[in-house]
Amino acid sequence: MFGNFIYYIVVLLIYSTWQPMEETGLDIFFSLLTGFCLLAVFAGVTWFSFYRMAEKIHNAGLARIDQRFTSTVTRQSVLAIALFAVDIYGLNLSVMAGRIPLFIHLPTLQALVFLCLFSLHLVIIWFWAYPVYQRIYRSDLSRREYIRSNISFSIPVLLPWLCLSGLLDIINVLPFEQPRQLLSTTWGEIGYFLFFLLAIAILGPALIQKFWRCYPLEPGSDRGRVEAICRRAGVKYANILYWPLFGGSMITAAVMGLVKKFRYILVTRALLQFLSPEEIDSVIAHEIGHIKHRHLLLYLIFFAGYLMLSHAGFDLILPALVYITPLYRIIDYSGMNPADFMAILYSLFLIFSFIIYFRFIFGYFMRNFERQADIYVYSLFESAKSLIKAFEKIALFSAQSPDKPNWHHFSINQRVEYLKKCESDRTWILRHNRKIRKSITLYLAALILSGMLSYSINFGETGQNLTSHLIKVALLKEIDRTPDNYELYGMLGDFYHNRKNYIEAAAAYKNALHLMPDSSKILNNLAWLLVTCEDQELRNPVESLDYAIKAAEIETAPHILDTLAESYFANGNISKAIEAEKNALRLMPADRGYYEKQLKRFQATLGVED
């Protein structure tokens, strides 16, 4: 079930990181028809996979068929993600949908539509998986309830994104400029994200328990035992709820909520039905262990940590990409826009880093936090024998092999064996707690170092120098790849100009003009360089005026007329400079104050001469 969380987040990353720079030329009807055909083929393959499994279910052992069932669901889910990526990257459906006026103003609504498209793929999997699920687990759950339980369990992982993105849409639609300006800054974005992450972590459980259709556990012996254990541990909560997950047929419990006002303890009917009172006590003690060790808060830190580590990781990988020559050959061979190619690389980096991080780092802490919650039982009881019996019953009723681990839990046998170690030697409890403290310390140290590195790269002098070097290398490599592209020489000239490498800038601009003599932008930039640069030997007002006049003949724009005025002024033709600057002002430039200041400077000089 936890795998569905990963699937939805990966799909959200695929959707949100794709920013194509140019049109693909695909027809909307072709894209829609192709997408429908792919969906139909996917449905057929999924049906056939589970049909074959259902036919062979009697000839295979229960544990083996359970493993095949799980692997088939996983394989089809991964295929669903791949088809979704084709819809976004290949068929360009998100770009086409983005032309709809409603989606232009409310992009979150468009994202929800595409998430529903992915959910349709998963519903197809669950629809055809149901008969096999029913026969393996001997469940009387209806197909509709089976699908609904899968959806309701998975969707809340998107709640933080939905609130974060939805409110941002509202802010952008409202006629208030100050909030938009604040959120356009780096620190504004960080503050907004952290605020909402904390707010959802605190308030989210109140929404999720409604979404899961939980309802209060009625007064009686079962509720009384849970309340007694919580009082004994000193844990406060908002309510104890029935958790109707898969009709309440799973033997499980959970706790959610950082603060007591929005903290809920969840139990299923199967848990209360099949476990003895002492076993129920031990399971609740396990959930209390999560609260006592602040695991929910640590999960929040780990989630925020992924964002920091992935950002810092990409800052380090980006420089390496510039030097990987085969990438340029791939771009040439594919005919892709380099910006689109980099957008795909960025998306792939985020997706694979997310999978690796949650599979290995987050998964490591989840497994060990579960073990830490297991051994918390010794804080409330003298023995963990009741918890061991509860695990054995869970293995018996779940039809899953007790030796089957997953990325977020140790196997039942592994958990039982560790508890048996603790039964004979309590120092194993201290060892595990010490292991977790060391692991968290190491993780936080890595997080701090990556944060410092990311800050240095993005805001420090070292980062600025590195960025400048990368831009230069990328431009030179691109020029080698497409030597007839005059715009690249112009960009190289702008780069050198900004770095005050005036000789190299002038050479780059002249190379650009050799390829495109009538580029008003490059003519203007070269004219401005020759009339304003600090290198007196390079200054050439006469040549500058020639370039400026030609640029003004091609395009009449305020900044071009300002360059013309500056060139006239440098050549001593003050009246022409004033005339050109007045013409620039008549074009109503955005930075009117600058042009007025220029005009006053020219007029003051003319007054002195007179």
The DSSP H or E segment spanning 467 is helix 461-481
Tally: H helices and E strands in the chain: 29, 4
Model pLDDT, residue 368: 96
Cα–Cα distance, 170 to 291 (Å, whole number): 35
Same domain, 301 and 442: yes
Spell out the long-range contacts of 171-180 with Cβ–Cβ below 8 A and sequence spacing 24 or more: 172/105, 173/105, 173/106
pLDDT: which is higher, 310 or 439? 439
Flag whether 38 is in a domain: yes
Cα–Cα distance, 551 to 560 (Å, whole number): 7
The residue among 411, 429, 456 that closes a domain is 456
Same domain, 442 and 514: no
Per the prediction, the chain carries an average pLDDT of 86
What SS3 class is residue 255? strand
CB atoms within 10 A of CB 130: 20
Tokens of 329: 């050959």
- Contact residues for 574 (Cβ-Cβ < 8 A; gap 6+): 568, 602, 605, 606, 609
Same domain, 412 and 556: no
Model pLDDT, residue 240: 97
Same domain, 49 and 158: yes
Residue that is written with structure tokens 């000839």 in the block: 59
Flag whether 567 is in a domain: yes
Spell out the long-range contacts of 113-119 with Cβ–Cβ below 8 A and sequence spacing 24 or more: 114/15, 114/84, 114/87, 114/88, 115/8, 115/11, 115/12, 115/15, 115/158, 117/84, 117/87, 118/7, 118/8, 118/11, 118/80, 118/81, 118/84, 119/151
Flag whether 213 is in a domain: no
pLDDT at 231 over 70: yes
pLDDT at 609 over 60: no
pLDDT at 388 over 90: yes
Cα–Cα distance, 286 to 195 (Å, whole number): 30
Flag whether 477 is in a domain: no
Flag whether 208 is in a domain: no
Percentage above 90 pLDDT, the chain: 49
Same domain, 439 and 532: no
Q: What is the mean pLDDT of residues 385-410?
A: 84
Contact between 510 and 546 (Cβ < 8 Å): no
Cα–Cα distance, 46 to 54 (Å, whole number): 12
Q: How many residues does the chain have?
A: 610
Per DSSP, helices labelled H in 254-324 are 269-274, 277-292, 295-322
Same domain, 452 and 514: no
Model pLDDT, residue 580: 94
Digit-coded pLDDT (tens) for 533-542: 988 889 999 9
Same domain, 90 and 164: yes
Same domain, 442 and 311: yes
Same domain, 28 and 137: yes
Model pLDDT, residue 13: 85
pLDDT at 608 over 50: no
pTM over 0.85: no
Helix axes 427-459, 461-481, angle to 10 degrees: 70
Same domain, 441 and 301: yes
**Closest by Cα among 595, 544, 552, 597 to 573:** 544
**How far apart, in Å, do the first and last CA atoms of the chain sit?**
86
What SS3 class is residue 537? coil
Q: Range of 399's domain?
A: 297-456
**Torsion, Cα of 565, 567, 568, 569 (10° steps):** 80
Flag whether 217 is in a domain: no
Model pLDDT, residue 383: 95
Flag whether 316 is in a domain: yes
**Residue 213 zone, left/alpha/beta (φ > 0; ψ -120 to 50; rest):** left
What CA–CA distances, in Å, run from 52 to 57, 75, 122, 125, 147? 9, 15, 19, 14, 21
> How many domains would you assign to the chain?
3
The residue among 178, 201, 224 that closes a domain is 201
What SS3 class is residue 558? helix
pLDDT: which is higher, 544 or 463? 544
Phi and psi at residue 528, to the nearest 5°: -65, -40
Per mean pLDDT, which range of 42-51, 313-322, 389-398, 430-439 is the poorest? Answer: 313-322
String of b and e for 428-464 (b: at least 16 CB within 10 Å)?
Answer: bbeebeeebeeeeeebeeebeebeebbebbeeeeebe
Same domain, 301 and 419: yes
Cα–Cα distance, 483 to 479 (Å, whole number): 5
Flag whether 409 is in a domain: yes
pLDDT band at 183 (very low <50, low <70, confident <90, very high): confident
**Residue 564, domain CATH:** 1.25.40.10
Digit-coded pLDDT (tens) for 302-343: 988 887 887 777 666 766 665 565 665 666 666 666 666 666
The residue among 201, 236, 269 that closes a domain is 201
Tokens of 93: 């459906």
Same domain, 152 and 38: yes
CB atoms within 10 A of CB 212: 22
* β-strand pairing of 215-216 with 239-242: antiparallel
Model pLDDT, residue 466: 65
Order of all β-strands in the sheet with 253-256:
215-216, 239-242, 264-267, 253-256
Contact between 365 and 356 (Cβ < 8 Å): no
